[in-house]
Amino acid sequence: MSFFRRREAPKVDLNRLPRHVAIIMDGNGRWAKSRGLPRRAGHAAGAETFRTIATFAKELGLEYLTVYAFSTENWKRPADEVEAIMKLLEKYLHEAIETMARDKVKMAFFGDLSLLPAHLQALCRKTQEISKGYDGCQVNICLNYGGRDELLRAAKAFAMDCVEGRADPGHLTQKAFGDYLYSAGVPDPDLIIRPSGEVRVSNFLLWQCAYAEFYFTDVLWPDFSKEELLRALAAYQGRSRRYGGV
Protein backbone atom coordinates (compact mmCIF):
# COMPACT_ATOMS: atom_id res chain seq x y z
CA MET A 1 0.00 0.00 0.00
CA SER A 2 1.41 3.38 -0.99
CA PHE A 3 0.48 5.18 2.25
CA PHE A 4 2.92 2.91 4.14
CA ARG A 5 5.85 4.22 2.09
CA ARG A 6 4.67 7.81 2.00
CA ARG A 7 4.47 8.08 5.77
CA GLU A 8 7.56 5.91 6.37
CA ALA A 9 5.54 3.65 8.62
CA PRO A 10 6.95 0.38 9.98
CA LYS A 11 6.76 -2.59 7.66
CA VAL A 12 3.76 -4.76 8.44
CA ASP A 13 2.98 -8.09 6.80
CA LEU A 14 -0.69 -7.76 5.90
CA ASN A 15 -0.87 -11.55 5.59
CA ARG A 16 0.04 -12.02 9.27
CA LEU A 17 -2.23 -9.54 10.98
CA PRO A 18 -3.77 -10.42 14.34
CA ARG A 19 -7.43 -11.33 14.01
CA HIS A 20 -8.47 -9.19 16.95
CA VAL A 21 -6.94 -5.97 18.26
CA ALA A 22 -8.23 -4.28 21.41
CA ILE A 23 -7.39 -0.74 22.52
CA ILE A 24 -7.72 1.03 25.87
CA MET A 25 -8.42 4.57 24.67
CA ASP A 26 -6.62 6.50 27.41
CA GLY A 27 -5.16 9.97 27.80
CA ASN A 28 -7.93 12.31 26.61
CA GLY A 29 -7.96 14.31 29.84
CA ARG A 30 -4.19 14.75 30.00
CA TRP A 31 -4.11 15.73 26.32
CA ALA A 32 -6.64 18.49 27.00
CA LYS A 33 -4.94 19.64 30.21
CA SER A 34 -1.56 19.96 28.46
CA ARG A 35 -3.22 22.37 26.02
CA GLY A 36 -5.16 24.34 28.60
CA LEU A 37 -8.45 22.94 27.29
CA PRO A 38 -11.45 21.47 29.15
CA ARG A 39 -11.53 17.69 29.42
CA ARG A 40 -14.48 17.50 27.03
CA ALA A 41 -12.18 18.84 24.31
CA GLY A 42 -9.90 15.88 24.91
CA HIS A 43 -12.80 13.47 24.58
CA ALA A 44 -13.87 15.16 21.33
CA ALA A 45 -10.34 14.78 19.95
CA GLY A 46 -10.26 11.17 21.14
CA ALA A 47 -13.53 10.47 19.35
CA GLU A 48 -12.01 11.68 16.08
CA THR A 49 -8.99 9.45 16.66
CA PHE A 50 -11.31 6.51 17.20
CA ARG A 51 -13.04 7.25 13.90
CA THR A 52 -9.67 7.38 12.10
CA ILE A 53 -8.33 4.18 13.67
CA ALA A 54 -11.56 2.22 13.13
CA THR A 55 -11.58 3.17 9.45
CA PHE A 56 -7.89 2.30 9.10
CA ALA A 57 -8.40 -1.06 10.81
CA LYS A 58 -11.01 -1.89 8.18
CA GLU A 59 -8.67 -0.78 5.38
CA LEU A 60 -5.88 -2.99 6.75
CA GLY A 61 -8.16 -6.00 6.89
CA LEU A 62 -8.44 -6.52 10.65
CA GLU A 63 -11.36 -8.79 11.53
CA TYR A 64 -12.12 -7.39 14.99
CA LEU A 65 -11.38 -4.13 16.78
CA THR A 66 -12.51 -3.68 20.39
CA VAL A 67 -12.22 -0.33 22.15
CA TYR A 68 -12.69 0.63 25.79
CA ALA A 69 -14.97 3.66 25.53
CA PHE A 70 -16.62 3.97 28.96
CA SER A 71 -15.98 1.82 32.00
CA THR A 72 -18.20 0.93 34.96
CA GLU A 73 -15.94 3.19 37.02
CA ASN A 74 -16.24 6.20 34.71
CA TRP A 75 -19.60 7.15 36.23
CA LYS A 76 -17.56 8.55 39.14
CA ARG A 77 -16.27 11.36 36.93
CA PRO A 78 -17.83 14.86 37.09
CA ALA A 79 -21.39 14.94 35.72
CA ASP A 80 -20.55 17.44 32.97
CA GLU A 81 -17.73 15.22 31.71
CA VAL A 82 -19.97 12.14 31.64
CA GLU A 83 -22.63 14.16 29.80
CA ALA A 84 -20.07 15.29 27.22
CA ILE A 85 -18.98 11.69 26.61
CA MET A 86 -22.60 10.58 26.15
CA LYS A 87 -23.25 13.39 23.65
CA LEU A 88 -20.17 12.39 21.67
CA LEU A 89 -21.39 8.80 21.65
CA GLU A 90 -24.80 9.88 20.39
CA LYS A 91 -23.21 11.98 17.64
CA TYR A 92 -20.97 9.12 16.56
CA LEU A 93 -23.81 6.58 16.45
CA HIS A 94 -25.99 8.85 14.33
CA GLU A 95 -23.12 9.31 11.89
CA ALA A 96 -22.35 5.58 11.90
CA ILE A 97 -25.95 4.73 11.04
CA GLU A 98 -25.83 7.16 8.11
CA THR A 99 -22.66 5.60 6.66
CA MET A 100 -23.14 1.92 7.47
CA ALA A 101 -24.56 0.99 4.09
CA ARG A 102 -21.41 2.42 2.50
CA ASP A 103 -18.75 1.28 4.97
CA LYS A 104 -20.17 -2.17 5.83
CA VAL A 105 -18.59 -2.05 9.31
CA LYS A 106 -20.30 -4.35 11.78
CA MET A 107 -20.77 -2.88 15.26
CA ALA A 108 -21.44 -4.54 18.61
CA PHE A 109 -21.48 -3.36 22.22
CA PHE A 110 -19.99 -5.01 25.30
CA GLY A 111 -21.30 -3.91 28.67
CA ASP A 112 -24.45 -3.22 30.64
CA LEU A 113 -26.30 -0.77 28.41
CA SER A 114 -29.28 -0.59 30.76
CA LEU A 115 -27.69 2.29 32.69
CA LEU A 116 -27.29 4.45 29.58
CA PRO A 117 -29.95 7.07 28.72
CA ALA A 118 -32.92 5.43 26.96
CA HIS A 119 -32.29 7.15 23.63
CA LEU A 120 -28.69 5.91 23.60
CA GLN A 121 -29.81 2.37 24.35
CA ALA A 122 -32.17 2.60 21.38
CA LEU A 123 -29.37 3.93 19.15
CA CYS A 124 -27.08 1.07 20.19
CA ARG A 125 -29.78 -1.49 19.39
CA LYS A 126 -30.50 0.15 16.04
CA THR A 127 -26.82 0.23 15.14
CA GLN A 128 -26.34 -3.44 15.95
CA GLU A 129 -29.48 -4.43 14.06
CA ILE A 130 -28.50 -2.54 10.91
CA SER A 131 -25.01 -4.04 10.83
CA LYS A 132 -25.98 -7.66 11.54
CA GLY A 133 -25.72 -8.76 7.94
CA TYR A 134 -22.42 -7.05 7.16
CA ASP A 135 -19.16 -8.91 6.71
CA GLY A 136 -15.69 -7.56 7.27
CA CYS A 137 -14.34 -5.68 10.28
CA GLN A 138 -16.42 -5.84 13.45
CA VAL A 139 -15.96 -2.95 15.87
CA ASN A 140 -16.87 -3.76 19.47
CA ILE A 141 -17.47 -0.73 21.69
CA CYS A 142 -17.20 -1.35 25.43
CA LEU A 143 -19.78 0.85 27.18
CA ASN A 144 -20.45 0.73 30.89
CA TYR A 145 -18.06 -2.20 30.78
CA GLY A 146 -15.85 -3.72 33.46
CA GLY A 147 -14.04 -7.02 33.33
CA ARG A 148 -14.95 -8.05 36.88
CA ASP A 149 -18.56 -7.02 36.35
CA GLU A 150 -18.65 -9.13 33.18
CA LEU A 151 -17.34 -12.19 35.03
CA LEU A 152 -19.83 -11.77 37.87
CA ARG A 153 -22.72 -11.46 35.43
CA ALA A 154 -21.56 -14.53 33.54
CA ALA A 155 -21.22 -16.54 36.76
CA LYS A 156 -24.70 -15.53 37.90
CA ALA A 157 -26.20 -16.40 34.53
CA PHE A 158 -24.53 -19.81 34.55
CA ALA A 159 -25.66 -20.46 38.13
CA MET A 160 -29.24 -19.60 37.18
CA ASP A 161 -29.09 -21.98 34.23
CA CYS A 162 -27.88 -24.70 36.58
CA VAL A 163 -30.71 -24.02 39.04
CA GLU A 164 -33.27 -24.16 36.24
CA GLY A 165 -31.79 -27.31 34.71
CA ARG A 166 -30.38 -25.79 31.53
CA ALA A 167 -26.73 -26.35 32.52
CA ASP A 168 -24.68 -28.86 34.49
CA PRO A 169 -21.79 -27.49 36.61
CA GLY A 170 -19.98 -30.79 36.16
CA HIS A 171 -19.70 -30.15 32.44
CA LEU A 172 -18.58 -26.54 32.51
CA THR A 173 -15.66 -25.82 30.18
CA GLN A 174 -13.78 -22.63 29.37
CA LYS A 175 -15.53 -22.46 25.99
CA ALA A 176 -18.94 -22.96 27.57
CA PHE A 177 -18.26 -20.24 30.15
CA GLY A 178 -17.10 -17.91 27.39
CA ASP A 179 -20.57 -18.14 25.88
CA TYR A 180 -21.91 -16.26 28.92
CA LEU A 181 -19.61 -13.27 28.34
CA TYR A 182 -20.45 -10.13 26.38
CA SER A 183 -17.85 -11.27 23.85
CA ALA A 184 -19.55 -14.61 23.12
CA GLY A 185 -18.71 -15.67 19.57
CA VAL A 186 -15.81 -13.23 19.24
CA PRO A 187 -12.25 -14.61 19.36
CA ASP A 188 -10.04 -13.44 22.22
CA PRO A 189 -7.85 -10.42 21.41
CA ASP A 190 -4.43 -11.24 20.02
CA LEU A 191 -3.08 -7.77 20.75
CA ILE A 192 -4.09 -5.22 23.38
CA ILE A 193 -2.79 -1.67 22.96
CA ARG A 194 -2.56 0.81 25.85
CA PRO A 195 -1.66 4.40 24.95
CA SER A 196 -0.94 7.20 27.45
CA GLY A 197 2.05 5.75 29.31
CA GLU A 198 0.00 3.76 31.80
CA VAL A 199 1.05 0.11 32.19
CA ARG A 200 -1.97 -1.72 33.55
CA VAL A 201 -5.05 -3.60 32.36
CA SER A 202 -7.63 -1.34 34.08
CA ASN A 203 -10.33 -4.01 34.36
CA PHE A 204 -10.43 -4.56 30.59
CA LEU A 205 -11.24 -7.97 29.06
CA LEU A 206 -9.90 -9.84 32.09
CA TRP A 207 -11.00 -13.29 30.88
CA GLN A 208 -10.25 -12.66 27.22
CA CYS A 209 -6.74 -11.24 27.68
CA ALA A 210 -5.24 -14.46 29.08
CA TYR A 211 -2.83 -14.95 26.18
CA ALA A 212 -2.98 -11.58 24.49
CA GLU A 213 0.19 -9.70 23.60
CA PHE A 214 0.38 -6.23 25.15
CA TYR A 215 1.77 -3.09 23.56
CA PHE A 216 2.29 0.06 25.65
CA THR A 217 3.10 3.52 24.32
CA ASP A 218 3.48 6.98 25.90
CA VAL A 219 1.42 8.56 23.11
CA LEU A 220 -1.87 9.98 24.42
CA TRP A 221 -4.95 8.62 22.69
CA PRO A 222 -5.90 11.82 20.78
CA ASP A 223 -2.40 11.73 19.22
CA PHE A 224 -2.57 8.01 18.41
CA SER A 225 -2.17 7.84 14.63
CA LYS A 226 -2.26 5.26 11.85
CA GLU A 227 1.51 5.06 12.17
CA GLU A 228 1.21 4.26 15.88
CA LEU A 229 -1.14 1.41 15.07
CA LEU A 230 1.32 0.11 12.49
CA ARG A 231 4.12 0.27 15.07
CA ALA A 232 2.01 -1.82 17.43
CA LEU A 233 1.26 -4.34 14.69
CA ALA A 234 4.94 -4.52 13.70
CA ALA A 235 5.91 -5.14 17.34
CA TYR A 236 3.27 -7.88 17.54
CA GLN A 237 4.60 -9.57 14.42
CA GLY A 238 8.08 -9.60 15.94
CA ARG A 239 6.98 -11.71 18.92
CA SER A 240 6.65 -15.46 19.33
CA ARG A 241 3.33 -16.58 20.78
CA ARG A 242 3.70 -19.90 22.62
CA TYR A 243 0.53 -19.99 24.75
CA GLY A 244 2.42 -21.46 27.68
CA GLY A 245 4.43 -23.91 25.55
CA VAL A 246 8.19 -24.13 25.28
Catalytic (active-site) positions? 26, 74
Q: Is the dihedral of CA 144, 220, 224, 88 positive or negative?
A: positive
How far apart (Å, rounded) are the C-alpha atoms in residues 151 and 161?
15
Q: Torsion angle, CA of 154/159/163/164, rounded to 10 degrees?
A: 10
Tell me which residue of 130, 136, 144 sits closest to 96, measured CA to CA: 130
Burial class (CB in 10 A: 0-12, 13-18, 19+), 98: exposed
Residue 25 backbone phi and psi in degrees, to 5: -80, 95
